[in-house]
Amino acid sequence: MDLTPRSNSEETIVPKRKRNWFAIAVIVIALVGGGVIVSQFLTSAIDYYCNVDEVGSRDGCEGDRRMRVQGIVEQYSVKELNGSTTFSMTFNMKNLNVVYQGDPGGVFQECIPVVAHGRLVNGKFESDRIEVKHSNQYVEKNETRMDRANSEAAACSVQKD
């Protein structure tokens, strides 16, 4: 057995391991994208759901916090001006003025139940998303709320025609 030290020329050189930067970049992008999606989901999940008559009176439905407000689009209240749509929502004899940046499009019209997402600013509800009732799944989960909204919507179109 030879125990003499080796000289430098006899040493084996171990090649440096190359990092795969492309794979690392893909993983980082996937993690950041997943984080953004999760944070958007959690943000919309904590929006308070209020009826028009609860805005300013029920806990969670006051101040400038983000919320979802349900009501009936008041007849003859929809107006379009400078790229935004304004209208009044009613529920239980209470009104709320809504400003929506853009055209709600779709099946949005007067005298139908809608849900507006946004914040209350200076007495007006600034909305960035409008949902219109159009599926039976919503009715199944919120039957009493929809029964009341539908009866108010029917009264809206009968009263003001």
Spell out the per-residue pLDDT of the chain, length 161, in tens. 777 776 665 556 666 666 788 888 999 999 999 998 887 776 655 667 888 888 888 777 777 788 888 999 999 999 988 888 899 999 988 999 999 988 887 788 888 889 989 888 888 889 988 888 665 555 555 566 667 777 776 667 655 44
Q: What pLDDT is recorded for position 131?
A: 86
Q: Answer yes or no: is 97 within a domain.
A: yes
Do residues 115 and 134 touch, judged by C-beta distance below 8 A? no
Q: What pLDDT is recorded for position 14?
A: 61
Q: Answer yes or no: is 7 within a domain.
A: no
Looking at the 3D structure of the chain, how many domains does it have?
Answer: 1
Q: Answer yes or no: is 20 within a domain.
A: no
d(CA 115, CA 132): 7
Q: Answer yes or no: is 66 within a domain.
A: yes
Q: Answer yes or no: is 79 within a domain.
A: yes
Q: How many CB atoms lie within 10 A of CB 62?
A: 15
Q: Tell me the H-state helices in the chain.
A: 21-45, 136-141, 143-159
- Whole-prediction pTM value? 0.57
- Owning domain of residue 54: 48-159
The CATH number of whichever domain residue 121 belongs to comes to 2.40.50.140
Q: What pLDDT is recorded for position 145?
A: 66
Q: What pLDDT is recorded for position 161?
A: 46
Structure tokens at 101: 């940046």
Q: What pLDDT is recorded for position 38?
A: 83
Q: Answer yes or no: is 15 within a domain.
A: no
Q: What pLDDT is recorded for position 62?
A: 76
Q: How does pLDDT run across 83-92, given as a tens digit for each residue?
A: 888 999 999 8
Structure tokens at 161: 């025609």
Q: How does pLDDT run across 28-48, given as a tens digit for each residue?
A: 999 999 998 887 776 655 667
